[in-house]
Structure 1
Amino acid sequence: MALISRRSFFLSLPLISLIPITYSYYETKTIEITKLNLGLSFKAAFLVDTHTHEFGEVEGKVIDIVKKEEVDLILVGGDFVDELTRDFKVVEKYIKDLEAKEKFAVMGNHEYWSGKAEELSKILKDNKFKILYDSYELSSYGKIYGIDWRDTRIYKEIKAEGLVLAHDPNAAKFISGKCLILSGHTHGGVVFGNMVLLSNSQFVRGFYNLSRDTKLYVSRGLGQMFPLRPTSPLELLILE
């Protein structure tokens, strides 16, 4: 996938403007389930960038999918809330309905930028989520690491073994070892064919082989601040 320069992006704005608004809105309601068959002895769901403002059609679909998949592990990758989140009763309902044997979460940029990280953390903990801040836990399903968001997007180098939650895919540049890194943040960018017209990371969407042992998956996420997602339908990732 080729990234284009900022100048080229702005020259392409007339093309982007041709994307039908109705299609972009449709992408905010369409959930694609991506399954990574890794030969695991358990099943996990990765949810990121939910940007929860209400408990509506999309949120209900997510809960239904997670229940239907009968996952053992739920992993939340940050940006569960943002500056437009007003009603934390809605957030609490969403989190309460996410059921699994074990649950882990990290914070994203919008938790911190909105000043809502503390309130969200309390709800997560009250619903048996373990929150990882540059730390790891030994779960029933192996080690699970969590990388906390940094505005500098520069992270401490670590060697990991197992699953790594990092809201920012740029963190993958600082991670080595036999691990799968799960990220979001990009919302899948804006992509036409093999051309990336807009992305806030060199790792835009999908699966990346970073080395023989280190892998990265960047999810397109399950929400957005504003109801437009050109070329990027919602994505719920299942590991099995």
Structure 2
Amino acid sequence: MTRVLVVEDDPQLVRALVINMQARGYGVDAAPDGATALRLAAARRPDVVVLDLGLPDMDGTDVIKALRGWTRVPILVLSARRASDEKVAALDAGADDYITKPFSMNELLARLRAAVRRTDSVPLVPGTALVTTDEFTVDLIAKRAGRAGHDVRLTPTEWHLLEILVSNPGRLVTQRQLLQEVWGTSHTNRTNYLRVYVAQLRRKLEPDPSHPRYLITEPGMGYRFEG
């Protein structure tokens, strides 16, 4: 059973989320504040986290950062904050998706299913199980990246982007292809998502993120991995 942790301080919304998710076969835990959320996440090990940013004890972005210290669990932000910089801050902290309130329950559930699918295994092209560069390695079977002998912590979304790019060495992968594959068909115009996540990958993998050697931008078109 897929287990979801809902972090939200509005009891009515929590009740609606729990009812709808349980009706579709999810196991659900609920936390009214950030501290409870972090305790439950450690104890219950959810498969997905649905998180409000406006919590009574701490900002949701701090919860994201705390979770990202030890887990790659998909995090879906559910927030009334609509400002672009707030969305980027949440994504930059490690969130995988951002849904603004008010929202459609069907859309939320679709995003939830997409987040679960992104953590599932995908068939590998023969010969692409291990990708090695002078700076880092990517093990597509173990779903692990390493640099200088140490594991590199990646969020599920960061991993999915990297996986697509390194599986297509030397080939342009268009912005539309990446957005559709990673975030779904409703997000094919959200190029800012790509900028944020590719920048995060470069910070973690490139020797000089401002002058990338491996994760190359094709302006206005997409991205390319050069091994």
Q: TM-score range by the shorter chain?
A: under 0.3
Q: Which has the higher strand share?
A: 1
TM-score normalised by the chain length of structure 1: 0.27
Q: Which has the higher helix share?
A: 2
Which protein has greater RCO, CA pairs closer than 8 Å, 6+ apart? 1
TM-score normalised by the chain length of structure 2: 0.28
